[in-house]
Copies of this chain bind each other. A is one copy, B any other.
C-alpha cells in the first residue's frame, strides 16, 4: 500500500472508509483546501476511486486491512455506517482519531438505541416499542392502530429492513430470527422495532455539522420528496415551513448532535405532522444518518459552505463555514438509473436547455433505480426551479427524451 501524498505545509490526510459517492464528493473541497484524502475502496473502479489518487482496495470488515490502512491517516471518517463494531474498536484501541466516534455511530447503527436516546432527551418520535413475540406486535397494533411499521434495529438501510405490518404474521420470520438471536449480537438480538405509522404532512430533513471542539452549524431545514421510497427531490429551504417549527426542528437537531457527541455532518430525517391537540405544525424524528446525506446535496451549489467541505472541516476540528444559502431557493433532483447506459450524450441536451444547471454524476454504472447523480438549480422561483431540475434529471435518466 503506497502512502497518500501530503501537500507541503503541514496538511493532514483524511481517511474515508468506503468509496461511494459521498467519499467521491469530498474530493473537490479536499483539493481546494489541499487536504489529502485516502479512501479504503470496495473496488478499483469505485465512485471515489475514480477521482482520488489514494484509494487502495480493501475489505472494511477485515480488522487488519483497516488497521494497516488507517495508520497513514490523521483522521478517519466514513462513506457509510456499516463498519462493524469490532473494526471500530480496534481502530480506537490503536489510537486512530475516528469521526464520528464509535459511541456516536452506535446510535446510527442501532435503531432501538436511537429511539431510546431520542425519547430520553425529549425529542419527538413516533410511538415505538421493541417486540419479541406475536403478542407484542398484536398489543402494539391494538394500541396505536394498524398498520404499524416494523424495522430491523441493525443492518437495515435505504428501505431494506423496513416493513408495513398489518398483522403479526407479516413479521413472523423476523420474530423467529429474533428468538434465535436472543443472547447473541445478531441484528435482531434485541427484538424488532415497532413504530406507529405516522400520518405526515410531508418529510423534512435537518442537516447539521458538529466539530470535536463542540462548534455546530445547521443548514436551513429542507423538504425531501420521496417517490416509491426513494428520495427524488429536495427543496431548500422547505417552502412555507412555519418559522416556529423550523426553529424547534433545528434546536432538536442541535440537541441530538450534542447528546450523541456526533462529529462531522449528520442528517435527521423527520416527518412534519399536525399536532392532534393544537392543530399546530409539529415534527417527529424518522431516521438518523451519521454522515453527509442526500438531503444535503443542494448545499454543494446552494450554500456558502457545502456539506462535503463542512464535513472535512468538522472532522479536522477546523472552524466551520457558513451554511447560509446563496439564493432564496435551491432544488436538488436525484438522477436515477434508467434503461439506457449512455449518459454522456444527454449532456448536450440538458446543458443547452439550461445554462444554470449544475450536474453532479458519480461515475457509477447505470442500473434501474440506482442513484447515479443529481442536479442542482439555485434561484428565486421555486416552481420554475422544480420544473427545470426535474426535466434535467428525467432526461439524464432517460424517462423523457425531448
Contact residues of A with B, CB < 8 Å? 5, 7-12, 24-25, 27-34, 36, 44-45, 49-53, 55, 304-305, 313, 318-322, 324, 326-327, 341-345, 347-348, 351-352, 355-366, 373, 378
Q: Please give 19 more A-B residue pairs, beta carbons under 8 A apart, in addition to A27-B31, A30-B51.
A: A5-B44, A8-B341, A8-B363, A9-B344, A12-B344, A24-B31, A27-B27, A28-B29, A31-B50, A32-B358, A32-B361, A34-B363, A53-B55, A304-B356, A319-B347, A319-B355, A320-B355, A322-B356, A326-B327
A285 to B257, CA, bound (A): 56
Number of copies of this protein chain within its complex: 2
Contact A322 B355 (CB under 8 A): yes
- Interface of chain A, main secondary structure: loop
Contact A343 B9 (CB under 8 A): yes
Known contacts A305-B355, A344-B12, A355-B305: does B361 contact A7 (CB below 8 Å)? yes
Min distance, Cβ A2 to any Cβ of chain B, angstroms: 11
Q: Please, could you name 30 A-B residue pairs with CB atoms under 8 Å apart, sorted by A?
A: A5-B49, A5-B50, A7-B50, A8-B363, A8-B364, A9-B343, A9-B344, A10-B344, A11-B343, A27-B27, A27-B51, A28-B28, A28-B31, A30-B51, A33-B359, A33-B361, A34-B343, A34-B344, A34-B361, A51-B52, A51-B53, A53-B55, A318-B347, A318-B351, A319-B347, A319-B351, A319-B352, A321-B355, A324-B356, A326-B378
Residues in B with CB closer than 8 Å to A362 are: 34
The residue of chain B having its C-beta at the shortest distance from the C-beta of A344 within the complex is B10
Min distance, Cβ A192 to any Cβ of chain B, angstroms: 38
Min distance, Cβ A366 to any Cβ of chain B, angstroms: 6
The residue among A12, A28, A30, A360 with the most chain B CB atoms within 10 A of its own CB is A28
Residues in B with CB closer than 8 Å to A31 are: 24-25, 27-28, 50-51
The residue of chain B having its C-beta at the shortest distance from the C-beta of A30 within the complex is B51
Min distance, Cβ A46 to any Cβ of chain B, angstroms: 11
Min distance, Cβ A181 to any Cβ of chain B, angstroms: 39
Contact of A27 among B28, B304, B344, B364 (CB under 8 A): B28
Residues in B with CB closer than 8 Å to A24 are: 31
The residue of chain B having its C-beta at the shortest distance from the C-beta of A52 within the complex is B53
A8 to B320, CA, bound (A): 35
A206 to B30, CA, bound (A): 29
Residues in B with CB closer than 8 Å to A319 are: 347-348, 351-352, 355
Contact A10 B343 (CB under 8 A): yes
Contact of A348 among B52, B318, B352 (CB under 8 A): B318
The residue of chain B having its C-beta at the shortest distance from the C-beta of A326 within the complex is B326
A318 to B45, CA, bound (A): 25
Which 10 A-B pairs have CB atoms at the shortest separation, nearest pair first? A9-B343, A28-B28, A7-B363, A10-B344, A319-B352, A319-B351, A322-B355, A34-B361, A31-B51, A8-B365
Residues in B with CB closer than 8 Å to A34 are: 50, 343-344, 361-363, 373
A11 to B366, CA, bound (A): 13
Residues in B with CB closer than 8 Å to A366 are: 8-9
Residues in B with CB closer than 8 Å to A45 are: 5
Min distance, Cβ A380 to any Cβ of chain B, angstroms: 13
Residues in B with CB closer than 8 Å to A44 are: 5
Residues in B with CB closer than 8 Å to A52 are: 51, 53
Min distance, Cβ A208 to any Cβ of chain B, angstroms: 15
Min distance, Cβ A84 to any Cβ of chain B, angstroms: 29
Residues in B with CB closer than 8 Å to A359 are: 32-33
Contact B32 A28 (CB under 8 A): yes
The residue of chain B having its C-beta at the shortest distance from the C-beta of A353 within the complex is B319
Residues in B with CB closer than 8 Å to A363 are: 7-8, 11, 34
